[in-house]
Structure formats: structure tokens, C-alpha cells
Amino acid sequence: MPNKHITEGKHPRSKRLRKKILNAASRLFWQKGYKATTIDDIARACRVNKATIYYYFKNKAFLLFEIVCGIMQEGLENVRPLKTSAMRPCEKLRVLIMQHTTWVLSLKWPAIGQMERRNLPPRLLNEYLVLRDEYEDVFRSIIREGIRKKEFGRMDPKLYSLFILGLTNSFLNWYKPSGKLSPQKIAEEAYYFVLKSIQSSK
């Protein structure tokens, strides 16, 4: 996510180095936690000096900010088109759950935003939450449309969107890439579970 405090770098080598720093920071934040990870740790993992990291990122908080916002931006790009799609609400919900589930299960470090966002300074946290709220609003808008078109029963769109996100995000607790169930199969079963609940409330 572009930010005036972050140096992008136009040269391909510069972009590769920024990505290398972000990947190393992501891995360390996931393994050790944000607070336990130092800029020295990240520099050693990247085999660069600290000055290089500070050239691209103002401080460790801005590293975390770009990581969590980058993840959220990626998710938004996947689901934004569904809000204006001509599909029926039931089909929109199916595609949304499929895309969300397979996307979350494909991430290397999926829960960094949930676990570490409290460590962001207030202004950066607010910017991150704007993206998160926009993502959640895709779920709410599809549920509202389904209620309006009488495909879904009467329910609280915000509460049901949180139910759906809570269910699908919980798959991270037990999903194994080497297991028998593919992300697509898990997402499909999740959709039918949610659909049965939504339709039973009609």
C-alpha cells in the first residue's frame, strides 16, 4: 500500500530488495511475534545492513503496516467486483466464500493482521481498519441484497457476515496443505453450511 513514509524504488533490483525485506519481516513476525522481532533480526535474515531497511521503511511499525495492508489489498482485489456483479445473491455468496476461503488458506502468514495489528500506531491502525471494514462490507452488502430479493431470510447482515468470516477464518487452525481436503472442497462445504443456515431463517 503506497505511503509517503515508504520509499518504493523504481529500479527492478530495488523492488526485489523491498520484497525480500517484507518477506523476511513477515516470516519473523509470524514466528517470533512483532514485539520480539528487531530490525537487526530482519537485517540478518535479508543479509543487508539496517540502513538499507531504514531507507525503504521509516521504522518497524511501517514494515508491519505495509505487510498487513498488502494482504488486505490483495483480498479486496479478489472480492470487490462481486458487489456490482449481475449474479444472484446466492451465487455471489458462493463465489465470495470460495474466494475468501481459498485465498486465506493460500497465504503463507495469514493471521499477522489479526494478531499484530494492535501494535500499529493509532493512525496506521485506522488506515488498516478502513481496508478491513471495506472487505467485511462486501459480505454485508451481499447479505443485504439477498434479504432484499428474498433469497435469504431476515437476519442481521453485520452479525451474519462476522459469523461467516469467523467460520472460514477458523479453518486456519486445522487445515493442512498435505491433508485430504483441498481448499476448494473446504470452501464448497462451508458455502452449503452457510446457505442452509441462511435459508432456514426465511
Residue 28 lies in a domain: yes
- Condensed to tens digits (0 to 9), the pLDDT of residues 130-174 reads 999 999 999 999 999 999 999 999 899 999 999 999 999 999 999
Residues 134 and 188 in one domain: yes
Rounded to the nearest angstrom, the gap between the alpha carbon of residue 174 and the centroid of all alpha carbons in its chain is: 18
Residues 55 and 75 in one domain: no
Residues 81 and 137 in one domain: yes
User: Cell for 105?
Assistant: 488458506
Residues 29 and 124 in one domain: no
Q: Provide the 3-class DSSP secondary structure of residue 62.
A: helix
Residues 95 and 24 in one domain: no
Q: Give the predicted TM-score (pTM) of the model.
A: 0.87
**Alpha carbon of 55 to those of 78, 102, 106: distances in Å?**
31, 35, 30
Please write down the long-range contacts of 173-178, taking CB distance under 8 Å and 24 or more positions apart: 175/105
Instruction: Say how many domains are in the chain.
Output: 2
**In this model, does residue 2 exceed pLDDT 50?**
no
Residues 134 and 195 in one domain: yes
**In this model, does residue 7 exceed pLDDT 50?**
no
User: Cell for 104?
Assistant: 486465506
**pLDDT at residue 3, rounded to an integer:** 45
Q: Which residues contact 110 (CB under 8 A, 6 or more apart)?
A: 71, 104, 172
Please give the mean pLDDT across all residues of the chain: 91
Residues 74 and 54 in one domain: no
Residues 72 and 43 in one domain: no
Residues 54 and 68 in one domain: no
CATH value at residue 25: 1.10.10.60
- The residue whose grid cell reads 456483479 is 85
**pLDDT at residue 10, rounded to an integer:** 57
Q: How many CA atoms lie within 13 A of 104 on its CB side?
A: 24
Residue 23 lies in a domain: yes
Domain boundaries, position 187: 64-200
